[in-house]
Amino acid sequence: MSHNPLPCKIPLIGIAIIALLVASSTPCDAQRRKRGLLSGPKSTQTPTDSADKEESEPTTGAVAQPATGSRATATPAKKGPVDLFEMASKNAADKKAAAEAGAKSGTDKEEKGTDKDGKVQAPPPEILTLESDGINIMAALFMSPNTEDPELAKTIVPIILVHDWGGTMNDLGPLAQYLQSVGHTVIVPDLRGHGRSVTMANAPRPLDYRDFNRAQIATVTKDIEECKKKLIGLNNEGKLNISMLSVLAVGETCPLVTGWTLKDWSYENRGSIKQGKDVQSLILVSPPKKFQQLSMPQLVRHPLLAGGAGIEIPTLIIYGRNGDSAKESSALYKLMSRKRPASNASDANVRWAQQSLFELVIPSSADGASLLGPNPALYRFLGMFNFYKVSRNADNFPWASRASGAN
């Protein structure tokens, strides 16, 4: 966390964040296509104006770093849409076949978690079924390659990636793969009514987000909470540090995720067991001014986001310079910059340390998921943001079990 950040200006970086409570209509299909949303888990649609075609290396003067202690080698994310369910199913089938072959031959040619040269390999994604309000919430889990190292595991920064309204987990597959490759554990859900999260006990037909009223839209934050519960379980196993949680939201889910983040910071400890206050960085891609009853300008008045209270949640706002969301995203950035100015330090490392609010403007007319599809320069900048604002401060977030009865 940052305390009393100083003023400054960094190219392609800045300062901004978000908010909650109003009303707007659901965008049409044409608008969703422009934001790069996939129609379903098996869609092979690719954005026609994605940010990677107009890629520009962010000029921050800082050097990109992997997550603290990472021993994994960063690998390029797969181009184009990724069907995470099919990928996980294939990997599970391959693993089973390899195990059966090894059992028959009595040999195991490769050490677990490494390739034939002994290099650390990122584990394949696993598809989870979480339950929220009786709904089967499907989520993809990308475990960090460092989970088997007892020391490194307790400094792993977990990340929850939340797709746009009308999108699916597949939109964020390439980004999840990249973040995993630099040492993070990542969980990406299909929100209720989206993708494969459409089955509910005793429901007469599949759930569809297009049928949701305002009250039902608000309940999707329970799906995010279930993802966090899964990460808490992994924390209790010593496989990550939940106190270093990072959250990323895309488009219209930005107000929902921002509200959930503030709620996370509102919990009081339960005896000696820490409760909440776990989100240490918030990343918003193409945040709108409002979504349904949710207003970003209202949310942004909270001291954790508005600044001036001595402690703020490190925040990064990303948007396309000529995208439909540019005006509203930029306005939110400017609103937040009033009390969270940029650092004027000449040294890049000092600027990263002093500043708590950042803006990344991509030279593109794309919005939301289209900006992430995939963009190596954006990925590196996002990785730097989490490295400098979370991983580097691991000493401030000592690992602790959240299990009942833990010391």
Q: What is the pLDDT of residue 265?
A: 93
Give the total residue count for the chain.
407
**pLDDT tens column, 258-285:** 999 999 999 887 777 778 899 999 999 9
First-last CA distance in the chain: 25
**pLDDT tens column, 26-42:** 444 444 333 433 323 23
pLDDT band at 107 (very low <50, low <70, confident <90, very high): low
CB 265 within 8 A of CB 276: yes
Distance CA 244, CA 54 (A): 32
Q: Model pTM?
A: 0.78
Exposed / middle / buried, residue 69 (Cβ in 10 Å: 0-12, 13-18, 19+) = middle
pLDDT band at 105 (very low <50, low <70, confident <90, very high): low
Exposed / middle / buried, residue 22 (Cβ in 10 Å: 0-12, 13-18, 19+) = middle
Closest C-alpha to 158, from 304, 316, 1, 279: 279
Burial 192-211 (b: 16+ CB within 10 A, else e): bbbbbbbbbeeeeeebebee
Distances (CA, A) of 313 to 1, 2, 225, 389, 393: 6, 7, 19, 9, 13
Distance CA 42, CA 337 (A): 41
Q: Which stretches within 172-270 are classed as H helix? A: 173-181, 214-218, 221-236, 254-264
CB 7 within 8 A of CB 356: no
Higher pLDDT, 31 or 226: 226
Closest C-alpha to 187, from 130, 108, 268, 256: 130
Distance CA 388, CA 314 (A): 10
**pLDDT tens column, 187-221:** 999 999 999 999 998 888 999 999 999 999 999 99
Place of tokens 């691991």: 394
**pLDDT tens column, 358-395:** 999 999 999 999 999 878 999 999 999 999 999 999 99
Count of CB atoms situated within 10 Å of the CB of 358: 30
| Fold held by 29-93+120-394 | Rossmann fold (3.40.50)
Higher pLDDT, 18 or 312: 312
Q: What is the pLDDT of residue 112?
A: 52
pLDDT at 22 over 50: no
Q: What is the pLDDT of residue 16?
A: 34
CB 286 within 8 A of CB 251: yes
Distances (CA, A) of 191 to 140, 216, 226, 260, 377: 12, 12, 11, 14, 28
| Order of strands, sheet of 158-162, starting from the edge strand that comes earlier in the sequence | 126-132, 135-142, 185-189, 158-162, 245-250, 279-285, 315-320, 357-362
Dihedral of alpha carbons 395, 259, 291, 225, sign: positive
**pLDDT tens column, 283-313:** 999 999 999 888 999 998 899 999 877 889 9
Pairing of strands 245-250, 158-162: parallel
pLDDT at 172 over 60: yes
pLDDT at 17 over 60: no
**pLDDT tens column, 45-100:** 322 233 333 433 333 322 233 333 344 334 444 555 578 877 777 777 777 777 76
Distances (CA, A) of 145 to 67, 235, 237, 293, 403: 11, 15, 15, 40, 24
Residue type, 131: E
Q: What is the pLDDT of residue 87?
A: 75
Q: What is the pLDDT of residue 298?
A: 94
168 Cβ partners below 8 Å, 6+ apart?
37, 38, 40, 41, 190, 194, 195, 196
pLDDT band at 178 (very low <50, low <70, confident <90, very high): very high
DSSP code per residue over 267-335: PPPBTTB--S--EEEEEEES--SEETTEEHHHHTTSHHHH--SS-B--EEEEEETTSTTHHHHHHHHHH
Q: What is the pLDDT of residue 97?
A: 75
Query: How much is the average pLDDT of 244-257?
Result: 98
pLDDT at 116 over 70: no
Give the three-class secondary structure for 185. Answer: strand
Residue type, 61: G
